[in-house]
Structure 1
Amino acid sequence: MNEVVDCPRCGELYAQNAFRDVCPKCSRSEEALYQAAYTFLRKRENRAATLERVVEVTGASEEMIQKWVKKGRLQARQFPNLGYPCDRCGAIIQAGKVCNNCIEELESSLKLHDREQAFERERKESQQRTFLSKRS
C-alpha cells in the first residue's frame, strides 16, 4: 500500500510509490529537465560535457543529473564526464556504489581482519594444547 508523504521538492502531499520519489507535478518537471539534458547530451559535440556545463545549459540540478546516471537513465559510457558520488568517500564514479580506492581499502581491511582472526585462533589452539599437555 502506498504511503502518503510530503514531496521533498514542493511540499505537497502525494502517494509515494516505488517509481517516484517526488509528487506527480514535480515528476513531470523533472522529466522535462531530463529530456532537455538528454537532448543536449545526444549531440556529438556535447557528449563530453561536464556536469557543470549540463547544469548550466539545461537548468537541471547536479543531484538530478547524478541520480539519472546512478539509475542508468544517462549512460556513463556514452557521457564520460558524468558520474555520481561514491557512497563511502564522495569521489565521482560511473558505476557501482563505491570507488576503486574504497574497494581496495575495504579489501585490505578485510584481509587484515582475517589474518588477525587466524592468528587469534592459532594462539588459542596453542594455549589449549599446552594446557592439555601439562595435565597429562
Structure 2
Amino acid sequence: MKTYYSKNRPVLKNCPICGKLYADAGSGACQKCYDAYRNYEEEIRNFVEANPNCTAGDIVKKTGAPLAIASKMIQSGQFAMSGKIAYPCSRCGKLINTGVYCSSCQQAVQQATANANRLAQEARRKYLTGKKKSEKESGLNIIKLLRGKK
C-alpha cells in the first residue's frame, strides 16, 4: 500500500530570522517574522510612493526597515515606475540605480570570469595533450591567480 503526500505539505524548519521552529508552508519564515517582513514592505512601499527619488539609505533611516529588505525590493524592480532609487553596489557599495553591480564591478567580474575560463581551457588542453599538470594549474591556484597572487 502506497502513501501519497501532497507537495504543499508543511515542513518543520528553523526560522532563518529568529531561529524558532515552525511549520513552513512556503513563506520562508515563522509567522511572526513573516508578518514583520510584510509590515516593513508596506512601510517601504508607502515611503517610496511619497518620496520617489529617495536612496536606499533614506528608506532605511526613515522607515527603520533593514537594508536587506529595502535592497531586495529595489533590485526586484518593485519601484521601477516610482522614479530612480539609488542603492549600494553589492561589491563596492557605490550607489547605483539598476542591477546588482556598478559598471566597474560588473567589468571586473566579467574579466575574472573570462580569465578563469581561459585558464581552465589551457589546463584542459594540457591535460588532454598528456602533459603533467604543474602546481600552478590546479583549481586552488587558479583562484590565487584571479586574486592577483602567484
| TM-score scaled by length of structure 2 | 0.58
Per the alignment, residue 95 of structure 1 pairs with: 99
Q: Secondary structure at the match of 1:48?
A: coil
After TM superposition, the structure 1 = structure 2 runs for residues 1-136 of structure 1, keeping only pairs within 5 Å, are 1-18=9-26, 20-43=27-50, 46-75=51-80, 78-82=83-87, 85=90, 90-91=91-92, 94-95=98-99, 100=106, 101-118=108-125, 120=126, 123-124=129-130
Partner of 2:143: none
Question: What is the aligned partner in structure 1 of residue 134 from structure 2?
Answer: none
The runs of at least 4 consecutive aligned structure 1 residues that moved more than 6 Å come to none
Letter in 1 for 2:10: N
Identity of aligned residues (%): 19
Deviation at 1:67, TM superposition (A): 2.8
Query: Given residue 25 of structure 2, which amino acid in structure 1 is its aligned partner?
Result: N
Q: Any unmatched runs of 5+ in structure 2?
A: 1-8, 132-150
Larger Rg: 1
The one-letter code sitting in structure 2 at the alignment partner of 1:15 is: A
Cα distance per residue 1:33-88 (max 9 Å; x no partner): 11111121123xx3332222111111111122123234444549954413563xxx
2:74 touches 2:85 (CA, 8 Å); kept in 1?
no
Q: Which of the pair is proportionally richer in helix?
A: 1
Take 2:76 and 2:111, find their aligned partners in 1: how far apart are those partners?
24
Between the aligned partners of 1:17 and 1:91, the Cα distance in structure 2 is 36
**1:108: Cα distance to partner?**
2.0
Secondary structure, aligned partner of 1:22: coil
Instruction: Note if contact 1:67-1:84 (Cα within 8 Å) is conserved in structure 2.
Output: no
